[in-house]
Structure 1
Amino acid sequence: MVRYHNFDVVFAEIPDETTLAINITGCPNRCPGCHSPHLQRDAGRPLDDAELRALLGRYGESVTCVCFMGGDASPHEIARLARLVRQERTALRTAWYSGRADLPEGLDVAAFDYVKLGPWVERLGPLTAPTTNQRLYRRSDDGTLHDITERFRRRT
């Protein structure tokens, strides 16, 4: 069962999107220097279909994207929930922030419009850093993933 700690409407996680970011608990990655160690515990409210529908009912008209922040312990369940978002609100895009280096075998990547991959490595920095190991991909209609990490870099 997927659980979540909290959620927020954010503007920086996915470029050009107003995003309902849902912080998933039970992270198995244990990245050194993790900025959200409280998300490592298997705690919080269950994120089942009814709970997700309630969040969509409350925020679905105010956002353009739903992002599952974590969920590496249950990636196939996260993909199923992303498909539910699409079923309930066809105009919403979906995203998954994963601390994995690669996509899990057999993951339905078509469930997502965006996927962030890469563990947190403090010395390499976040997505905004030119040295980051993390990558944000946008899925195109043909299913290929295109690296759009550069969109996080400020232009001077």
Structure 2
Amino acid sequence: MLKYVNTGVVFQEIPDEVTLSINLSNCPCHCPGCHSQYLWKDIGTPLSVSALSRMVHEYGHDITCICFMGGDAEPEYIDMLARYLHSEFPHLKTGWYSGRQRISPKIDKHNFDYIKVGPYIRHLGCLKDPTTNQRLYKRDRSGDFKDITMKFWRKTV
């Protein structure tokens, strides 16, 4: 069963959204230089539909998006949770930060509004670095995904 370790309302993970980020454990990616190595362990509280629903009711008026931070060990379960959110809470957007280079073909990407792919590679940097290999995609009105990674890059004056 997928487990979460903690949550937080954040403003930087998904551009232009107030996001409830849910940090998931048992990450199989083990990226060298990972800033959240504690999430490699199988620890935390089971992330059930009822637990997710409680979170939405607790934070629902303060957030516009829910982002799953990890979950690569159980991508089909993440997909089910995103489908549930869109069905039960259509006003909320859904995001997924995956450490994989590609999303599993078993996933319906259209259950997500945002998807980040790519392992952390220290010498390439994270999303805020123009040299990063990681990419954040946003689903547009036509259903296509557009790379919005550049929204993380600082503009110089």
8 Å Cα contact 1:76-1:108 kept in structure 2: no
Deviation at 1:88, TM superposition (A): 2.2
8 Å Cα contact 1:10-1:20 kept in structure 2: yes
TM-score normalized by the length of structure 1? 0.97
User: 1:146 corresponds to which residue?
Assistant: 146
Deviations 1:5-63 (A, max 9, x none): 00000000000000000001110001111110110111100000110010011001110
Question: What root-mean-square deviation, in Å, do the aligned CA atoms of Structure 1 and Structure 2 show?
Answer: 0.9
Seq. identity, % = 51
CA distance in 1, matches of 2:88, 2:62: 15
Q: Secondary structure at the match of 2:57?
A: helix
Deviation at 1:144, TM superposition (A): 1.8
Q: Secondary structure at the match of 2:8?
A: strand
TM-score normalized by the length of structure 2? 0.96
CA distance in 1, matches of 2:61, 2:112: 19
Deviation at 1:90, TM superposition (A): 1.1
**How many positions carry a matched residue from both structures?**
156
Q: Which runs of 5+ in 1 are unaligned?
A: none
Displacement over 4 Å in runs of 4+: none
Task: Tell me if 1:109 matches 2:109.
Answer: yes
User: 2:89 corresponds to which residue?
Assistant: 89
Deviation at 1:133, TM superposition (A): 0.4
The one-letter code sitting in structure 2 at the alignment partner of 1:110 is H
8 Å Cα contact 1:60-1:89 kept in structure 2: no
Q: Which runs of 5+ in 2 are unaligned?
A: none
